[in-house]
Structure 1
Amino acid sequence: MGLTRQKVTLFSRQYREVKQLYQTAFPKVERLPYLPLILNTYRPLTDCYAYYDGDSFVGLAYLLQNNDLLYLFFLAVNTKIRSRGYGSAILQDIKKVAGNRPIILAIEPLDESADNYAQRQKRVA
């Protein structure tokens, strides 16, 4: 696995495939409008990255960061290639980006009555 990271901006070639994954990976009630998210990447505290294995698009990460911490706002892996270690590889790359800063993220609570309980357990792991 040769994972690479590419910054996503309004006119980058990654814009569309990241948008498609973003819109399918997160429920509408959890999403923010995509265009303002991408426009915010022109600010120094915000980055959106597309991840690739060779030429294959594998996922996205949207980060907010300052000198003290990194907040992982969104992380998604291409639905066609989930459960192949790409999410873990993206998280390892984000650890490199963070350096010594703490990484903060929000995940769904471990609710045994949730329809996707097994998926939530995998996310916590």
Structure 2
Amino acid sequence: MELVKALTKERQDRIYQLYLTAFPKSEQKPFKILIEKQEEGIVDLLSIEEDEHFLGLAIMVRYLDMVLLDYLAIDDGARNGGYGSLTIQALLERYSGFRMILEIDSTKEEQAADLSIRIRRKAFYHRNGLTDLPYQVNLWGNQMEMLSNGRPVSFEEYLSLYQESFGAGVSKNIGLLA
């Protein structure tokens, strides 16, 4: 299994098709902006592949010594094959010099219809070496828990990653939760 930077239209199209189906529309950034940000050296659109067979996507946002795992999805046909864990390990290795962070839907929203999925997802990340950060965020109206690769990232640093990568206007859509 390998992570291949999606520089070709073919790879970008495969990522885009999975992106559309794997994430709720409310959580999707305009894909054109992600491609533009990759061209600027801010975003890495990564195709997860084995023997050139597409398995999934990882979309990373880099700023200073931080990297945000913005999106991770394994194609339905490749699920339950251990590729999620292999991908996390490959990302941790690829970005070993960075403080890696990610947002997950809060497991503290006990009335959430998908609470069991949220709990399983958090356990998956914990099994793969990621740890909780001591704060949660409101991200475009969604309550999110924050995880990292064991290196601390403050809320202010996290917010600066978004502001520097996508513009100062995003800060009105991101808030610290008590």
TM-score interval (norm. to shorter): 0.7 to 0.9
Structure 2: how far apart are the matches of 1:83 and 1:113? 27
Shift of 1:73: 0.8
C-alpha deviations, 1:6-65, integer Å up to 9, x for none?
1113x4321111100000000001101111111210112221100112232111011111
Report % sequence identity.
30
**Partner residue of 2:105?**
108
Larger relative contact order (CA 8 Å, sep ≥ 6)? 1
**Partner residue of 1:64?**
61
**Of 104, 121, 124, which residue of structure 2 is paired with 1:123?**
121
**1 or 2, which has the higher strand percentage?**
2
Deviating above 6 A after TM superposition, structure 1's stretches of 4 or more consecutive aligned residues are: none
List runs of 5+ in structure 2 lacking aligned partners: 124-178
Moved more, 85-94 or 21-30: 85-94
SS at match of 1:99: coil
RMSD between superposed Cα atoms in Å: 1.5
Moved more, 36-45 or 22-31: 36-45
**Partner residue of 2:2?**
4
Number of aligned residue pairs? 122
Structure 1: how far apart are the matches of 2:95 and 2:54? 22
User: Greater CA radius of gyration, 1 or 2?
Assistant: 2
Once the two structures are superposed, the pairs formed by residues 33-52 of structure 1 within 5 Å of their partners are 33-52=30-49
Structure 2: how far apart are the matches of 1:117 and 1:22? 22
- CA contact 1:8–1:38 (8 Å) conserved in 2: no
List runs of 5+ in structure 1 lacking aligned partners: none
TM-score (norm 1): 0.88
**Of 79, 82, 85, which residue of structure 1 is paired with 2:79?**
82
Moved more, 74-83 or 27-36: 74-83
Are the structure 2 counterparts of residues 107 and 48 from structure 1 closer, same or farther at C-alpha, using a change threshold of 3 Å? Answer: same
SS at match of 1:5: strand
